[in-house]
Amino acid sequence: MYGPCGFYRRPEGPAGHFRTSVHASPLFARAVAELLCRVDAALGRPGTLDFVDMAAGRGELVTGVLDALPDEVAARVRPYAVEIAGRPADMDARVAWLGEPPEAVTGLLFANEWLDNVPVDVAEADSSGVPRYVLVGDDGTERLGEPVTGADADWLARWWPLRAEEGLRAEIGLSRDRAWAAAARRVVRGLAVAVDYAHTAGTRPPFGTLTGFRAGRETTPVPDGTCDITAHVALDACAAAGPAPVRLLTQRAALHALGITGARPPLALASTDPAAYVRALASAGEAAELTAPGGLGDFGWLLRPTGIADPLGSADTPA
């Protein structure tokens, strides 16, 4: 995934294989720009406002956010793209392209579909009901290894206890908890946000979620660098990994709070300004996709404000 010939270093980039909210509509970047403006206001409009795009891909989100910001805010923004792939040749010169997030962030750190690609170990209950590590060959074939012990066993017991039933699976999210906590702690004042397809206690899938994507299609997760390998995120465990306060909500609730609702334009506009009506209708369709139940709208948002009030206010729909 991350090595010299890994999936995330391929020239076509992730967008050649799967579609995120960023690729679904420019409305998503506009919503993140609105969130950054709210963070800016909560910080008292500092002379330098950081925006960190974690797992930036080819810079689609940071580019869209910069385009959507008011001039006065854009003039003060210090944008970062954090990504292991090389900097695109056409990237905006204002964007610092880094392999790790900056040490101290005053502003917004936004991690869209990053945590699902932080590698996890998979555990499976054997014929005696004992959770064992799943070992994977280069061709994707699997076999059971040693029993899960230590910190991984503690994590399972707390966050994803497996019944003693052969074949049940869990994805041990300890690596993601640590990755999120480390990234979120870089925000000294402002807001850290993680957005991902996620589950919480009580909704864990009994056989896990590990899968692959290649060229827009779901596929067997073979670790050969040709496909994305992903698993949903135990976002409640990530939330507990760092200091409070934190909040979990759905993407639907978060985007509604940021003004993205999917409401259809008034029909009267069709007669007074047909072109504007068509544009508004298209925008409503894109917003509906971003907030759809059973789809992108069910993604989880994890918010961790530091030194500021929660900029999404009363958007309290649970994830």
pLDDT, residue 318, reads 44
Lowest mean pLDDT among 7-11, 76-80, 214-218, 307-311: 7-11
pLDDT, residue 258, reads 95
Confidence at 13, pLDDT banded by 50, 70, 90: low
Tell whether omega for the bond before 46 is within 30 degrees of 0, i.e. cis: no
pLDDT, residue 143, reads 97
> Which residues contact residue 48 at a Cβ distance below 8 angstroms, ignoring those fewer than 6 apart?
76, 78, 106
Confidence at 307, pLDDT banded by 50, 70, 90: very high
Do strands 169-172 and 121-125 pair parallel, antiparallel, or not at all (unpaired)?
antiparallel
Average pLDDT over residues 99-111: 97
Q: Does 314 score more than 90 pLDDT?
A: no
Q: Does 79 score more than 80 pLDDT?
A: yes
pLDDT, residue 19, reads 61
Average pLDDT over residues 163-170: 97
Kindly tell me the sign of the dihedral angle through the C-alpha atoms of 141, 17, 2, 36: negative
Nearest in space to 74 (alpha carbons), one of 82, 65, 83: 65
Long-range contacts of 252-255 (CB under 8 A, 24+ apart): 252/291, 252/292, 252/293, 252/297, 252/298, 252/317, 253/301, 253/315, 253/316, 253/317, 254/31, 254/301, 254/312, 254/315, 255/28, 255/31, 255/287, 255/290, 255/291, 255/297
| pLDDT, averaged across the chain | 89
Interval 194-225: pLDDT, tens? 999 999 998 999 999 999 988 878 899 999 88
Distance CA 124, CA 241 (A): 24
Q: Does 112 score more than 70 pLDDT?
A: yes
Average pLDDT over residues 110-120: 95
Average pLDDT over residues 58-69: 96
pLDDT, residue 6, reads 77
Helix axes 174-184, 150-159, angle to 10 degrees: 90
pLDDT, residue 317, reads 45
Average pLDDT over residues 120-147: 96
Percent of the chain with pLDDT over 70: 87
Interval 228-246: pLDDT, tens? 899 999 999 999 998 888 9
* Residue 217 vs residue 308, higher pLDDT: 308
**Residue in the block written with tokens 């900097």:** 87
> Which residues contact residue 143 at a Cβ distance below 8 angstroms, ignoring those fewer than 6 apart?
134, 135, 137
Distance CA 319, CA 298 (A): 7
**First-to-last C-alpha distance (Å) of the chain:** 28
Distance CA 120, CA 169 (A): 13
Q: Determine the length of the chain.
A: 319
